[in-house]
Amino acid sequence: MTHNDPTARRALRSSDSDVLGAALARLREKDAMLFVLHYCFEVPLAALLRIVMTTVAGEFRGYDWAAHIRDKLDSSHLEITRFLQAENVTWDDLDWHTSPAVRSIGERCGVNTLLPCLGCGQQKIPLIGLAVLRHHTDRAPAVTSKRPQ
């Protein structure tokens, strides 16, 4: 998120105690999006990797995007942890889904539409690809179906 983002500005200035929103406002928009999708909405790394690969990977073939995403998640986690420590708040004190900033990112990414994972059957995979791609690129990807016959 950037300080130009309306949700971030509200989190920084408001008295509604959206500490997580204020922490997210310190991150770049794409880093905050990845952090929220992975940690708040439990989007698997494989799904995040697919989103990133679809949006930018064609430009950088051979790059280790999984390591890049893990690095972004780790650095975001560290940045937010430092902010929370300065505010005397622990991770256990946070209620992720009541944060307006988290809800805003979730709405923009369309995480309210979930599908069961065909591989494990336990995780839920959000249909976030098209919403995220339209937000970050000029083109939407071709949607292909790989159903077992």
pLDDT at 143 over 50: no
Residue 18, token pair as written in the block? 């959206």
Q: What is the pLDDT of residues 36-91, one digit of tens each?
A: 988 888 888 888 887 777 766 566 777 888 899 999 999 999 999 999 999 888 88
- The structure's pTM equals 0.68
Amino acid at 144: T
Comparison of pLDDT for 81 and 5, the residue scoring more: 81
What is the Cα–Cα distance from 36 to 19, expressed in whole angstroms? Answer: 14
Where exactly are the structural domains of the chain?
A: 6-136
For position 44, what pLDDT does the model report?
A: 82
Q: What is the pLDDT of residues 101-120, one digit of tens each?
A: 888 888 887 776 656 666 66
Q: What is the mean pLDDT of residues 19-30?
A: 89
What is the Cα–Cα distance from 22 to 82, expressed in whole angstroms? Answer: 12
Amino acid at 97: H
Q: What is the 3-state secondary structure (H, E, C) of 80-134?
A: HHHHHHHCCCCHHHCCHHHCHHHHHHHHHHCCCCEEECCCCCCCEEECCHHHHHH
DSSP-derived 3-state class of residue 65? helix
